[in-house]
Amino acid sequence: MTDRWDNLKREMKEAARELGIDAIGVASAEPFTTLKQRLIRHRELGRESGFEEKDLDKRTDPSLLFDKPQSIIAIAVAHPSKLPDPPKSEPGARRGIMARTSWGQDYHSVLRNRLQRLEEWLRERVPDLRAESMVDTGELSDRAVAERAGIGWSAKNCAIISPELGSWIYLGEMITNLPLPPDEPVTEGCGSCNKCIDACPTGALVGPGELDARKCVSFLTQTKEMLSDEFMRKIGNRLYGCDTCQIVCPANKGKNWTQHPELQPDPELAKPLLTPLLTIGNREFKERFGGTSGAWRGKKPIQRNAVIALGNFKDPSAVPDLIGVLENDTRPVLRGTAAWALGRIGGEQAEKALHEAKGKEEDKEALDAIEFALNMLRGGMKEEEVR
Ligand code: B12
Ligand code: SF4
Ligand code: SF4
């Protein structure tokens, strides 16, 4: 009997590439008890992003999600890290950057497709298979499952790093009723390296593998509110997500995965021009960005981040477009952020528009931002952070 499951697992590993899966492993379906303690502490310290599943029992006990689970199959699909022919960001034509997780087709649909193919493959061999798959939005911690299944180590930047693939991987899993023998976790680790912690722009990596998600630029780019001056400066020209702690990682050196055509980026979407984003309509936004994972929070955060990026570039040619946002956008957060950006760029035209807006603005937060911007113009500016 054991042989049967050993053999099935071996065949499954051999078939993985054909199924479009780059790494596959098996974890036991036992409760994740140390993870639970960790998640409780994480919550108590107020370090959650708010995007996680709230029920910590469901997050850590597969038997609450599935009747008598016997194993969890973890999969990883590798993605590109380099843009082919990246368009130039130039004065008068500045561009923002979408994190690599938003390049190509939305990874949720790609991984669901792989899990579906895997499920069909398994069912052909085990007709009474029961299976439940999840990617990102499920209850389980994808990283904890991947770690237990030997896909990679849990790194100081929080990522799961595969010894072969690096951290440029998406993760997903399938809870099953198949008693497949579990894999061993990998033995590699970060060692004495600390590069990601040193490079994190906001100090969000408060310790090795410990993230204060509320400070993480990736999280900040996905919020819809007005951000603080400090955070706006640190966002630089990021429109969605942040890759800094992975870019600096030696384990990712030279790794760029191009085997999945649907994950290949369109450079114009991965590094879009900023000014057209300021006035993009709902329909056009959906047509252009709707198929990417970065669109999940709608167009508002991306537009706000485009305004921030223009402010950080300090390119005077953006002033008329930003004045357009300050005067005409119906959303106070956008008007307030445009005021900040104009304060950052400065110049007579910006200052005049800010004074005019001050007399007309009725929203308290936007008005505060206008006053802050006018103060900024009086007081000079600090270092910027744009790439
Ligand atoms: C919420 C969330 C976020 C939040 C919070 C991230 C975080 N680190 O907690 C925000 C919005 C900030 C975010 C950002 C990103 N995310 Co995200 N996110 C998630 C989500 C939905 C839940 C993560 C979670 O529960 N975090 C809570 C922490 C505490 O637990 P955990 O990381 O899941 O588990 C680890 C820790 O608990 C740790 N641990 C356990 N016990 C102990 C004990 C001690 C002492 C310590 C130190 C650690 C430790 O080990 C576990 C395994 O690594 C997952 C999908 C999912 N359902 O799991 C994706 C996921 C983690 N995100 C992912 C990605 C790609 C990103 C970004 C790179 C996107 C981007 N480019 O901007 C960044 C990376 C930021 C970072 N440094 O982590 C991938 C990770 C792929 C990989 N190779 O690791 C996931 C798995 C999505 C997916 N299915 O592919 N994300
Ligand atoms: S994603 Fe960016 S802000 Fe978040 S931990 Fe990594 S480097 Fe820091
Ligand atoms: S940069 Fe260094 S410490 Fe950070 S995840 Fe990579 S190997 Fe680990």
| Mean pLDDT of each 10-residue bin along the chain, 387 residues long | 92 98 98 98 98 97 98 99 96 98 98 98 98 98 98 98 98 98 97 98 98 98 98 98 98 98 98 98 97 97 98 97 98 98 98 98 98 90 44
Instruction: Please report the pLDDT score of residue 379 as a whole number.
Output: 81
Does residue 251 line the site of ligand 3, with CB under 6 A?
yes
Residue nearest to atom 1 of ligand 3 (CA): 249
Task: Ligand 2, residue 211: give the atom nearest the CA.
Answer: 5
Residue nearest to atom 6 of ligand 3 (CA): 249
The residue from 136, 229, 266, 368 that is catalytic is 136
Instruction: Please report the pLDDT score of residue 386 as a whole number.
Output: 42
User: Bridge partners of 172?
Assistant: 75
Find the 167 Cα to ligand 3 centroid distance in Å. 10
Return the domain boundaries, the chain.
Answer: 2-86+105-176, 217-241+274-379
Phi, psi (rounded to 5 degrees) for 205: -85, 95
> Could you confirm whether 321 is annotated as catalytic?
no
Helices (H), the chain: 2-15, 33-44, 56-60, 107-125, 142-148, 195-199, 217-221, 229-235, 244-247, 267-270, 275-278, 282-289, 299-313, 319-328, 332-345, 348-360, 364-379
Does residue 326 line the site of ligand 2, with CB under 6 A?
no
What fold, for 217-241+274-379? Answer: Leucine-rich Repeat Variant (1.25.10)
Instruction: Please report the pLDDT score of residue 387 as a whole number.
Output: 41
